[in-house]
Structure 1
Amino acid sequence: MQTNYNLPEKINDLLIEHTRTNNQLQELIKDGGYVPPSEDLLVDAITALSMGKNVLLKGPTGTGKTRFAETLSNLFRQPMFSINCSVDLDAESLMGFKTLAYEEEKQVIQFVPGPVTSAMNAGTFLYIDEINMAKPETLPLLNGVLDYRRTVTNPFTNELITAKTGFNVIAAINEGYVGTVPLNEALKNRFVVIDIPYLQGEQLKELIQSQTWLTDERLTDLFVSLSEDLIHAASQGKLSEDAASIRALLDACDLCSVIPPQRAIQRAITDKLDEQREQEFVKNLADTFFQ
């Protein structure tokens, strides 16, 4: 198998030894800040990236897609340039822009590289967040970057840029949200897709204990149970996915270290919901757990 990297020894071991325990896996990636729901999730992402494939992380908001991308860049010991997509994303946001500068008191035009050109020239990771928020007419510029060619013609300098060894792309997508558009098949086919589920159970408990101010174990267990019910309700269509966001739950745990749990849940979760029906549902659920 040809790889795009000289992988650190621990990662090579991980690819070969699929029998590692989850505790060992957590120890391996603890500095990256993301504990995957299963070993396969991490192994599959590492395998795809080591082969030079692009990875598309798909899942609801607040499941840790960005943190997972950061963990992967840490494991590969690669810096990561990022793009935050929106309807305003244009070629300059991707490639860079020209500006006036001075050299020896003479005014000159300089090109300031954007995240795509910077990552390609440095041979590092490129992260494209919420890729389906970008206008469809903007993304074809990246087609050559995302396929076997790993090249792009800079529209501002007419320079042909070929990515250095080590360049790889991770993108993230939230499906079905306002402002998003379906990815066309040509773009989607350039990625290996990894579905990122919500963290639950003991893994969520460990995340709360390691990354929030909440130290009360009883309250931590209650928040884990609350999260499970919120995720279940969201899967049944009773709540929007925003209500089940792990990011929002961690905010509630932080606040709960100082203010009462019901108020913490109201500020971090309930008040973000638009429909009064959903707000009442979450309030009743919180009152059930935190009496």
Structure 2
Amino acid sequence: MNPIIEKEWQSRTNRTDDDTSSKLIQEGGYISPDPYLWEDVLVSIVLKKPVLLKGPSGAGKTKLAQTVSNYFNQPMQSVNCSVDLDAESLLGFKTIISKDGETMIEFVEGPVVQAMKKGHILYIDEINMARPETLPILHSVLDHRRMLTNPFTGEVIHAHDDFTVISAINEGYVGTSPMNEALKNRFVSFSVPYLTGEQLKNVLKEAHPNASGQLVETILHIGNDLKKQVMNGLLSDEAASVRSLLDAMALAEHMPMQRAIQYAIAEKLDDKIERRLVMELVDTWVK
């Protein structure tokens, strides 16, 4: 384990034992698809760099953020972006309350303000689905200043030393738009690919420990074939989602494989030709 990560981990968790690697990664459920991605993300976080996770739906971006949260024993505030996201959704809003018989205006702090003050992780999911004009309010939060002047209260907020920002995007999906360069340049960026091979097998077995070995192997074969077709450009990224494979496996323990794959994967694809291709791949493994 990188010394800077170990030092920060011990500081935040008040632990002094030597178990700072694989066991703690498993506590959050994320398995790194290569030998260095997990540690490189942690190094960036320890150095107070906002992290941007890029990858297809179901690749494990949210699971990675949750694992960082568990690793540092650090709560996480989440923002789910959409075209309706506004400054109040990020920073908070004013409301009228009654206290001691008097009517007062109180400010309810949003996830950004809470995370900055309390030293939590701020997880911004699908950041490229937000309207570009909404996010510049975060520029001073994401750069070296790590501060914010709340436009609703006038309060100047300086981030807690442990404050961390992790964002995630699905590139090229419907409803997304390219990130503003000024925003993108405030992040260090990591590609998060799908799991394959033994790593994917371990995830399937851990999620469904009572599943038969034959079922696990069949799902693995189907998953590998789906990924090949995604790489060949014949299927959408979501067809090879690990999340969808896990759903299919759960269903397949209680119904025929063809129906499980149809419900968990094929029916979620918009293109009729892609749906047919998925089912044809299943038929090569299930007689």
Question: TM > 0.5 between the two?
Answer: yes
Q: What letter is aligned with 1:140?
A: P
Matched, 1:63 2:59: yes
Correspondence for 2:165 among 169, 174, 193: 169
Stretches of structure 1 that go unaligned for 5 or more consecutive residues are none
Structure 2 gap segments, 5+ residues each: none
Percent identical: 50
Give, in angstroms, the shift of residue 214 of structure 1: 5.6
The AA in structure 1 aligned to 2:278 is V
Which residue number in structure 2 is paired with residue 153 of structure 1?
149
- For residues 214 and 140 of structure 1, the distance between their equivalents in structure 2, rounded to whole angstroms, comes to 49
| Residue 79 of structure 1 pairs with residue 75 of structure 2 | yes
The answer to whether the Cα contact below 8 Å between 2:27 and 2:71 also exists between their aligned partners in 1 is no
- The equivalent position to 1:192 in structure 2, one of 188, 193, 200, is 188
Match of 1:218 in 2: 214
How far apart are 1:228 and its partner, in Å?
Answer: 1.1
Distance 1:56 1:289 in 2: 37
Report Cα offsets for 1:172-197 as digits up to 9, x if no partner: 01000111010111111111111101
The within-5 A match list for 1:227-246 is 227-246=223-242
The superposition leaves residues 158-213 of structure 1 with CA deviations (integer Å, 9 ceiling, x where unpaired) of 11111111001000010001110101111111111111010011111110111136
Answer yes or no: is the 8 Å Cα contact 2:5–2:43 preserved in 1. Answer: no
Tell me the distance in 2 between the aligned counterparts of 1:177 and 1:48: 27
Normalised by the length of structure 1, the TM-score is 0.92
Looking at structure 2, the residues matched to 96 and 102 of structure 1 have their Cα atoms a distance apart, in angstroms, of 19
2:203 aligned with 1:202: no
The 8 Å contact of residues 214 and 257 in structure 1, kept in 2 or not, is answered as no
Q: Could you say what the CA RMSD is over the residues aligned between the two structures, in angstroms?
A: 2.3
1:124 equivalenced with 2:120 (yes/no): yes
Contact 2:5 2:42 (8 Å CA) reproduced: no
CA distance in 1, matches of 2:50, 2:5: 12
Question: 1:7 is matched with which residue?
Answer: 8
Letter of the 1:191 counterpart: F
Aligned residue pairs: how many?
A: 282
* Structure 2: distance between partners of 1:247 and 1:81: 22
TM-score, length basis structure 2? 0.93
The code of the aligned residue for 1:222 comes to T
What corresponds to 1:109 in structure 2? 105
Alpha-carbon distance in 2 for matches of 1:267, 1:213: 22
Aligned partner of residue 39 in structure 1, secondary structure = coil
Q: Secondary structure at the match of 1:156?
A: coil
Paired position in structure 1 for 2:90: 94
